[in-house]
Amino acid sequence: MRKKILLIGGGGHCKSVIDVIESLKEFEIFGIIDKEENLGKQVLGYEIIGTDEDLEKFSRVCDFALITIGFIKDISPRKRLYQRVKKLGYKLPVIISPLAHVSRYSEIGEGTVVMHHVIINSNVKIGVNCIINNKALIEHDCVIGDHCHISTGAILNGGVKVGSETFIGSGAICVENTVIKPFSFIKAGSLVK
pLDDT (0 to 100) of residue 131: 98
What is d(CA 143, CA 189) in angstroms, rounded to the nearest whole number? 21
Low-confidence spans in the chain with pLDDT less than 50:
none
Q: How far apart are CA 173 and CA 186, in angstroms?
A: 10
For residues 79 and 84, give the distance between their C-alpha atoms in angstroms, rounded to a whole number: 9
By the 10 Å C-beta count (0-12 exposed, 13-18 middle, 19+ buried), 98 is classed as exposed
Regarding beta strands 155-156 and 179-180, do their DSSP bridges make them parallel or antiparallel, or are they unpaired? unpaired
- Residues 81 and 101 placed together within one structural domain of the fold: no
Residues β-bridged to residue 66: 7
pLDDT of residue 25: 86
- List the catalytic residues: 140
Q: What pLDDT does 74 receive?
A: 83
Does residue 193 form part of some domain?
Answer: no
Residue 52 lies in a domain: yes
Supply the pLDDT for residue 71: 81
Domains: count for the chain: 2
pLDDT, tens digit, for every residue of 77-128? 999 999 999 999 999 999 999 999 999 999 999 999 999 999 999 999 999 9
Q: Say how far apart CA 90 and CA 129 lie, in whole Å.
A: 13
The answer to whether residue 140 sits within a structural domain is: yes
37, 57, 87: which is the final residue of a domain?
87
pTM strictly above 0.75: yes
Q: Let me know if residue 8 belongs to a domain.
A: yes
Whole-number percent of the chain with pLDDT over 70: 100
Supply the pLDDT for residue 157: 98
What per-residue confidence (pLDDT) applies to 42? 95
Question: Mean pLDDT across the chain, nearest whole number?
Answer: 96
- Asked if residue 15 is part of any domain, the answer here is yes
For residue 33, the domain's CATH number is 3.40.50.20
